[in-house]
Amino acid sequence: MEWRHTEDALLRAINSCLPTDIVVKALNLALVEFDPRRSARWRNYQYRIYNAPIRSPLKMRRSWHVKVELDLEAMKCGAEYLVGEHDFSSFGRAPDRVGHTVRTVRRLECKLDDHLLTIDIEANAFLYRMVRRIVGTLYMVGVGSWKSNVVEEILQTCDRNRSGPLAPAEGLTLTKIEF
């Protein structure tokens, strides 16, 4: 692309055309061969659950409101089964429907701060709806419907019908891509 102004001017121009909930923070030159999907080494998603008896109007657009108190320690135990290289077909499908479903989860952490439960998951790639199904599965563990070791059983079945419910989209944010 040819641009006769400064990179800062291009950044401002791009941001002026984007919806208010999307922003470009920095620009870098890339080779013509660069493919953002295939060149990414690691991706990080964050999912937020507002865990309190009464909803928060300020948090409702960016989190899933769960009224029942969640068992954070049980959710952490369930999350441990998902770290590493596994076939994640129980939690999603390949974007092109013919690709492989093996992914490597480098980190999956659950943290609670002032009623806001944050689930951070970092992987080399994600399947379609994978994060939201993982969150739904951890939710089932957190409310006490399933024991944490059920997460390992679900992972091994390679059957999406065994995973937990699909968590609402409002809580999901792509936070980082490492190239």
CATH number at residue 163: 3.30.70.660
Q: What Cα–Cα distance (Å) separates residue 96 from each residue in 24, 40, 93, 99, 112? A: 27, 17, 8, 6, 35
Same domain assignment for residues 26 and 56:
no
Confidence of residue 1 (pLDDT cuts 50, 70, 90): low
Q: For the chain, how many structural domains are there in total?
A: 2
Q: Residue 31: which pLDDT band, with cuts at 50, 70 and 90? A: confident
Nearest CA-CA partner of 136 in 149, 122, 124, 119? 119
Distance CA 127, CA 92 (A): 5
Q: Confidence band (pLDDT; 50, 70, 90) for 4? A: confident
Residue 55: pLDDT above 70? yes
Average pLDDT on 51-59 reads 96
Average pLDDT over residues 102-110: 98
68 and 154 part of one domain: yes
Domain holding 8, by residue range, is: 1-30
166 and 92 both lie in a single domain: yes
| Whether 75 and 138 share a structural domain | yes
